[in-house]
Structure formats: structure tokens, C-alpha cells
Amino acid sequence: MLKIWSMKQQQQAANNSEGGKKKKVTAAQLRAQKDVAELSLPSTMRTHFPDPDDILNFELKIEPDEGMYKGGVFKFTFAINSNFPHEPPKVKCTQKIYHPNIDLEGNVCLNILREDWKPVLNLNAVMVGLQFLFLEPNSSDPLNKEAAEDLRLTRENFKRNVKQSMQGGYVKNVQFDRVLKN
């Protein structure tokens, strides 16, 4: 107890000597830092922090190595608000892709980002959930209803449309971003 008290006094003294400009670390920052430190991502996923001092806003790249989306590179932004972990991070896909669970504006339909979010879930769980969407697109809870209908009716036609869209082509009069590695 005495040690904690002296550490707190040292921190206050350091803050006072710096003119009190030291920023307070929020609970969201502490939890995000813990989650990032404990990430165990496969080689098909990478994080990038554009501002190394901002742990609450970062990017994730997913490069599926199997399934219909194999060969693509999909980029997501994560924005963590001050209520994290009591509220899920805001996740958006930065590219226009043909996927039943990602709409044309990049919004993502993943149950743990909405009604099934719990504070015990971490960033790793969200990232693995995103990767799973590329392995097993879910047509029963869609944001892109046309893609979901396509997947439900004819899986082969859906696969063709995914391939066409990943090349930057058109599907049903909508042009998609080219997301292929090479």
C-alpha cells in the first residue's frame, strides 16, 4: 500500500514538473493496449497503427488464404470509443466489396459488433470474427441483401460474382474496388 502511495506521489511530482501537461490514460486506452498486446493473429491478418500514439484507431488487413475470397486483401478501420469495452469498437471496411455481411458503405454485420457484444470479448475475437466472414459468408443476417440472395439461390453464381467484383468489375450495375493482391 505504501509503495502505491509513493508511486502516485512520484507521478504527480513528474506531472507538476512538466507543467501538468501529462495526459491521463483512459480505461478504454488501457483495455485496448492490453487487447493489442495479447493479439494472436494468423499470418493472413495484420494490424497497422497510422498514429503510433493513438491505440484507439487502427487498421486491419485480412488476406484470406482459402474460400471464395482467397487472393484478396481487405482493409478495415477500427475506432474504439471511450466506453470500450462496454461498447464494441466501430469497424468499417474501407473498400467497396461484394459480400452479404458488408454493405456498399463498408458497414459490417457481425453479431459480436452489435447485440452479442460483451465486455469480456476482446479485439482478437472481433478480428477472428471478421476473418470468419470471408471463409463463411452468412446469408441469413445480411447487410447486402442482393449478395445474400445470390448466395442463397445459386452458390456458383455467387462465387462468379465474388471473383468478378474482386477484380474491380461490375456486379448488377455496381462497380467494386479491385482487392486482388497482384
The cell numbers describing 40, all together, are 494472436
Distance CA 44, CA 56 (A): 22
Which position has the grid cell 460483451?
A: 118
Joined grid coordinates for residue 97: 466489396
What distance in Å separates the CA atoms of residue 32 and residue 22, rounded to the nearest whole number? 19
Any catalytic annotation for residue 109? Answer: yes
In angstroms, the CA 69 to CA 63 distance is 8
Identify whether the C-beta of residue 50 lies closer than 8 Å to the C-beta of residue 59.
yes
Helix 27-37 / helix 123-135 crossing angle, nearest 10 deg: 60
Q: Which of 28, 109, 130, 147 is catalytic?
A: 109
Catalytic residues: 109
